[in-house]
Amino acid sequence: MTIPNTWALMFFRHKDLFEAKSYGESWLSIGTLDYEVTPDVEERLGFAGSCNSLFEKLGYTQYKQLDINVQADIALDLNKPIKDHHGEFDLIYDGGSVEHIINPVQGCINLLKMAKLGGRIVHSQGVGDQMGHGYWTFSPEFLKDFYTANGCKLRGIFLMDVHGNEYPVERQKNGMVGLLGYIPNKIRRKIGIHIVKNSFNLPYDPMITNYSLIAVFEKLKEVKSISMPMQGQYAGDSVLDTAATL
């Protein structure tokens, strides 16, 4: 997993979602992170050197990494129920690790248990043309239904392409074009032949199929037992009616 320029800019663009709420908070990254933020972006954002310095700039004084390897601060297999670290972290950032384990539901249960009450759980998962990348690509409904059924509130959810362009996630009705097909269709309707550009002056490319789904949840209460929801369209509910759009 990597923190590139686009992700660093996204963290600071949405400081309301990612900034520490008070001094002394802890950030846990799921998976060992590579750091690829360039000096010009570091200067623009006011930090330099490493993931640790980036998270310190966001207000986190403690930063740890969880991975299966012994080089990580916490060596755990998220396929299995965790025994320790319950309620330990203020922000848990999954930068694309849960999609690589065979049991993603258990992985999400573990993240839920490791988050402090009032803490945040962030998923940044690949969606789209990810064949051969991970075991899974996640629907927004999977994350929203699981976490909201288990004491969390959705604080933000959007898609981001490799250039850093963002797109809101909205409820898809049965029979409508799929989630990824919806993006270029909506952009074409909205801007016609014009080009969408981000802060790097890179054009929107409707052929891009590599997107990340970013979803942020706040843990509002501890649950005594884990609920396993059924997807809303089968349970008779619409699941993304109240999704936060950015």
pLDDT band at 91 (very low <50, low <70, confident <90, very high): very high
List pLDDT tens digits, range 127-144: 765 666 777 778 888 899
DSSP 8-state symbol, 98: G
Using CA atoms, how far apart are residues 149 and 190, in angstroms rounded to an integer? 34
Highest-scoring range by mean pLDDT, 62-76, 180-194, 204-218: 62-76
pLDDT band at 198 (very low <50, low <70, confident <90, very high): very low
Cβ–Cβ contacts within 10 Å for residue 172, how many?
19
What value does the mean pLDDT of the chain take? 82
Residue 17 confidence (pLDDT) above 60: yes
Domains of the chain: which residue ranges?
Answer: 2-171+210-220
List pLDDT tens digits, range 19-30: 999 988 999 999
Place of tokens 């349970």: 235
**Contacts with 67 (C-beta within 8 Å, 6 or more apart), sequence order:** 30, 31, 32, 74, 75, 76, 97
C-beta of residue 124 within 8 angstroms of C-beta of residue 214: yes
pLDDT band at 183 (very low <50, low <70, confident <90, very high): low
Using CA atoms, how far apart are residues 214 and 189, in angstroms rounded to an integer? 24
C-beta of residue 77 within 8 angstroms of C-beta of residue 54: no
Model pLDDT, residue 56? 96
What are all long-range contacts of 56-60, with beta carbons under 8 Å and residues at least 24 apart?
58/11, 58/12, 58/15, 58/18, 58/19, 58/20, 58/27, 59/19, 59/20, 59/21, 59/22, 59/23, 59/25, 60/20, 60/25, 60/26, 60/27, 60/90, 60/91
Model pLDDT, residue 181? 52
Model pLDDT, residue 169? 78
Model pLDDT, residue 69? 85
Average pLDDT on 3-8 reads: 94
DSSP string for 118-186: EEEEEEEEEEES-TTT-S----HHHHHHHHHTTTEEEEEEEEEETT--EEE--PPPTTSPPHHHHHHHH
Model pLDDT, residue 188? 47
Residue 206 confidence (pLDDT) above 90: no
Model pLDDT, residue 241? 43
Using CA atoms, how far apart are residues 151 and 149, in angstroms rounded to an integer? 6
Residues, the chain: 246
CATH of domain 2-171+210-220: 3.40.50.150
Average pLDDT on 23-38 reads: 93
